[in-house]
Chain A
Amino acid sequence: MPEGPTIASIPDEELVRRARERDPAAREELFLRHRDDAFRTAHRLLGNEHDALDAVQDSLLKAFRRLDEFDGRGGFRFWLLRIVVNTALDQGRRRKRSKAVVLEVEPPSGSPDDDPSRGLGRADLRRSLDEALSKLSPPLRATFVMFAEAGMTYKEIAEALEVPIGTVMSRINGARRKLRETLDWDRLKGID
Chain B
Amino acid sequence: MGNEPMNDLDRLWEATRPAPPSAEAWDRVWAGIVERIDEPVPMVAPSRGRWAAVGLVLLAQAAAVLLAVGVGRHAPAPPPPIHVEEGRLVLIRGAADAVEVADLTPRLGSAGVDAWYLVHNYFESAAAGPFVAMAE
Residue pair B18, A40 in contact (C-beta under 8 Å): yes
For chain A, residues 33 to 79, give those with C-beta under 8 angstroms from any C-beta of chain B.
35-36, 39-40, 43-44, 49, 52-53, 56-57, 60-61, 64-65
Q: Select from chain B the residue with minimum beta-carbon distance to A176.
A: B9
Question: For chain B, which range describes its interface: under 10, 10 to 19, 20 to 34, or 35 or more residues?
Answer: 20 to 34
Within 8 A of A (CB), among B1-28: 1-2, 8-9, 11-13, 15-21, 25-26, 28
Residues B8 and A185 in contact, CB atoms below 8 Å apart: yes
- Please encode chain B, from 65 to 94, with 1 for each CB lying within 8 Å of some chain A CB and 0 for all others: 000000000000000000000000000000
Set of chain B residues within 8 Å of A180, measured between Cβ atoms: 8-9
Chain B positions within 8 Å of A107 at CB level:
19
Residue of B nearest to A179 (CB): B9
- Taking CB atoms, residues of chain A closer than 8 Å to B9 are 176, 179-180, 183
Report the interface size for chain A: residues with CB under 8 A from the other chain.
Answer: 37
Check A64–B33 contact: CB distance below 8 A: yes
In the complex, A75→B17 CA distance in Å?
24
Instruction: Decide yes or no whether B30 CB sits under 8 A from chain A.
Output: yes
Asked whether, in the complex, the Cβ of A122 is within 8 Å of the Cβ of B15, the reply is: yes
Other-chain contact of B29, A44, A53, A65, A192 (Cβ < 8 Å): A53
Q: Give the most central of B11, B12, B17, B32: most A CB within 10 Å.
A: B12
